Amino acid sequence: MKIHKWAIAILLWGFLFRATSAIYLNTGFDEAYYYLYTQNLNWSYFDHPPLVALTTGIGVWLTGAVTPFTIRIGGVLLYTGTLIFSYLASKKLFGERTATLTLAILTTIPIFQIAFGILTLPDNALMFFWSACLYVAATEFFPSGEIYDHKPYKPTYRLAIIGLLVGLAFLGKYHGVLLGGGLVLFCLISSRHRAALFSGWTLAAIALFAIATSPVLFWNSQHEFASFRFQSKRAVPSEGYNLERLLVTILVALGYLFPTFGVPIWWTSFRDLGELLQFGNRKLKGIPSEEPEEEVRALEILHQKRLLILCVSMPIFFGFTFMGGFIQILPSWHMPGFFGATLLLGERAALVQIKRPKFIRNWLWGSGMVILPLLLIGLLHVHLGIAQKGGDAAIAGGFWEAKDDPSTQMIDIEQLRQAFVDSPALKAELQKADFVFSNSFFVAGQVGMAIEPLGKKVTCFDEDLRGFAYWSKAQDFVGKTSLYITSEQFMKDERFPEPLDKYKGYFQSLEKIADIPIKRGGQAVQIFPVYRASPMLKPYPRPYG
């Protein structure tokens, strides 16, 4: 478990950067929505397994404060653990040099830093247990730590731990089942490790996996398997295959990974796959090698190690990328695959570094020196609006209007909360209301994060309710008074001529009482209208729940 001093320095630098970003980065839609998971603890949830509630809530429960930092600190800490286990897995498979390079790459790639290590998302827990599982798998399948080993593989108790970790990864996000599938695929392909599939320890692994995933299965069994049906429908194509959409999916992923890393990850993965197939084909045909037997054996074990990484990575990033031709792919869907494949990039970089150290140094430092300023500029803009026309902090007068800037969707939650604290009229209206609701589950999350510390629960009345459909019953609100809080960005609905028509007939009256501006750089970038709604006449229809 020894960690090189350079690896420790990289880990400390990454933690400080992510922690600082977590403090100053405004709150996004998903994050605020997951905060509401912490207020409605359950065995699982409609759109995700339960661990995101724990990773989001740990900072809130320990401090009693609801801020961007407290909902993110769990994810920041977990990603540090993710990096440690990834380093150890890489070291076990390929050695110290590769492990340090891999750690540097994983700490530099922007999408990994943001989606896995700063924002609070289901991916925080997924990737922690994913990397822990990969480390245990590397130790199980290649126990000697040497390049080659003449001893036959014998399954051990670690298979049971692998089953447990796959289950825990599944509790983070449903992608965990793909990790388990990749490990099974590896054992099927690698004749040396096929014995694992017939071991008694595998039965223990299956049992522990079932125990770990039982909260999700229990919740779904109580709710007509709503979560499984919802997620499976998202993979159903709505139209024919579109090559242009596939190209966009590839280019967007390269942008998130940063091209100097994204392109090499694709290239390295396919190169390793090609070399593995070529080696296997020569062995299958019995073509003799000119190299000594020990070198051939060493090369075979190296290919087996690469095969392990390919099996748990390539089906995910290649499969979801291919699916991008007929459905919209969210960035986080295929990033676990790219994350795993980064270990192959680190191994290839270590080989190149031996002959061309200056090239690898310039590649890593050059990429980092470009990525870091871009991330800092992005962070400063989201927080201060440095590229926003008319803003107090605008550089060179700004470059685009706030209304055209998607970053304004990440809002300063504490401004919205403070508006109810500072205004006697709003404070009184909030105290009189029996509940608060919004018209979108995304906005309801932000409103909930702002309002719930002030003592009011928040719900949502919309056709897409997500978890709100299971956190209350439709008839619970009939006859009660409320506040309707929304965002001007989300008030328009093509189905209704006027925004308030959506709730016509459901409330006796809807009366606007305030507009709350959310400011950035001294300029209002979002407006949250507040309406008095009283009383509710009938339940709002629910598509599920």
Quote the pLDDT of residue 299. Answer: 83
Mean pLDDT across 456-482: 92
Place of tokens 């979108």: 440
Contact present, 22 and 118 (Cβ < 8 Å): yes
Mean pLDDT across 220-232: 91
pLDDT at 358 over 80: yes
Quote the pLDDT of residue 297. Answer: 81
Task: Provide the CA 81 distance to its chain's centre, in angstroms.
Answer: 15
Taking only the tens place, the pLDDT of each residue in 46-85 is: 999 999 999 999 999 999 999 999 999 999 999 999 999 9
Structure tokens belonging to residue 475: 């008839």
pLDDT at 441 over 60: yes
Band (pLDDT 50/70/90 cuts) for residue 446 is: very high
Mean pLDDT across 96-115: 96
Nearest to 342 by CA among 73, 93, 10, 143: 93
Band (pLDDT 50/70/90 cuts) for residue 543 is: confident
Structure tokens belonging to residue 540: 């709002």
Exposure class string for 44-79: b at 16+ Cβ within 10 A, else e = bbbbbbbbbbbbbbbbbeeeeebbbbbbbbbbbbbb
Taking only the tens place, the pLDDT of each residue in 265-276 is: 999 999 999 999
Quote the pLDDT of residue 401. Answer: 85
Band (pLDDT 50/70/90 cuts) for residue 149 is: low
Band (pLDDT 50/70/90 cuts) for residue 287 is: low
Band (pLDDT 50/70/90 cuts) for residue 360 is: very high
Mean pLDDT rounded to a whole number for the chain: 91
pLDDT at 12 over 60: yes
Residue 351 burial (10 A CB sphere; 0-12, 13-18, 19+): middle
Q: Which residues contact 296 (CB under 8 A, 6 or more apart)?
A: 289
Residues of the chain with pLDDT > 90, as a percent, come to 76
C-alpha 175/C-alpha 212 separation (Å) is 15
Band (pLDDT 50/70/90 cuts) for residue 284 is: low
Taking only the tens place, the pLDDT of each residue in 124-143 is: 999 999 999 999 999 999 98
DSSP state of 191: G
For 384, list phi and psi in degrees, rounded to 5. Answer: -115, -20
Residues of the chain with pLDDT > 70, as a percent, come to 96
The beta strands (E) that lie in 99-197 are given as none
Taking only the tens place, the pLDDT of each residue in 483-542 is: 999 998 888 877 778 888 899 999 999 999 999 999 998 899 999 999 999 899 999 998
C-alpha 533/C-alpha 520 separation (Å) is 29
pLDDT at 144 over 80: no
Lowest-pLDDT choice from 277-281, 307-311, 434-438 = 277-281
Taking only the tens place, the pLDDT of each residue in 229-261 is: 988 887 777 678 889 999 999 999 999 999 999
Exposure class string for 201-211: b at 16+ Cβ within 10 A, else e = bbebbbebbee
C-alpha 89/C-alpha 148 separation (Å) is 17
Quote the pLDDT of residue 544. Answer: 67
